[in-house]
Chain A
Amino acid sequence: MKTPSNSIKRRFALKFLRTLVRIRKSTHQPSPSQSSTWEIRRRAQRIKLAAYSSMARTVGSKRAWSRALTMKLRAAMGNRPWSMIKQESKKMTRRKLIAKRKRHMEKDLNSGVQELRRLVPGGQWMDPLSLMQETAHFLRCLETQVRVMRSIVAEGEGFPC
Chain B
Amino acid sequence: MEACDGGGMEFQQENDAAAAAAPNFEHANPISQEASTVAMNSMVMMPKPPNTHRDPFFSPNWDSFSSMTQSYQTFVSHQDFENFSFPPVPLWENQGMAPNMAQYLPTRSGFVETVPRAPCFMNRSLPDCLPQGPNHIPPGPNYASNVEGGGGASEGTQNKEGEAMSSPSSEMRRKRTPESSSTYDRIKSNEGMLKRDASGDNSNVQKDHYEKKQRTEQPEGTNSRGKQTKDDSNSGQPAKENYIHMRARRGQATNSHSLAERVRREKISERMRMLQELVPGCNKITGKAVMLDEIINYVQSLQQQVEFLSMKLSTLLPDMSFDLEQILSKEILQALNREPMVGGLGPMTGLTALPSTSQYASLPQAPLDNELQTLFQMGFDSTSAMDILKHSRRLKPEQ
Contact = CB atoms under 8 A, between A and B. Distances in A.
Interface of A: 2, 9-10, 13-14, 17-18, 20-21, 23-24, 27-28, 32, 35, 37, 40-41, 43-48, 51-52, 110-113, 115-116, 119-120, 128-129, 132-133, 135-136, 138-140, 142-143, 145-161
28 contacts: A13-B336, A17-B325, A17-B332, A41-B314, A43-B314, A44-B307, A44-B314, A45-B310, A47-B314, A48-B306, A52-B306, A111-B288, A119-B300, A119-B303, A136-B271, A136-B274, A139-B275, A139-B299, A140-B278, A142-B302, A146-B302, A150-B339, A150-B363, A154-B367, A155-B320, A155-B331, A155-B367, A156-B313
Interface string B248-269: 0000000000000000100110
B319 A148 contact: no
Interface stretch (B172-180, B213-221, B236-244, B290-298): B290-298
A13 B332 contact: yes
Interface string B317-357: 11111100100110111011001010000110010000000
B313 A146 contact: no
Nearest to B312: A153
Nearest to B7: A44
Contacts of B321: 159
Contacts of B3: 37, 40-41
A26 B203 CA distance: 55
Contacts of A129: 264, 267-268, 271
A32 to B, nearest CB: 7
Given A132-B271, A145-B306, A155-B367, A37 B312 contact: no
B319 A159 contact: yes
Contact of B309 (A115, A143, A153): A153
A143 B279 CA distance: 10
B2 interface: yes
B320 to A, nearest CB: 5
Given A110-B202, A155-B367, A136 B310 contact: no
A28 to B, nearest CB: 7
Contacts of B319: 156, 159-161
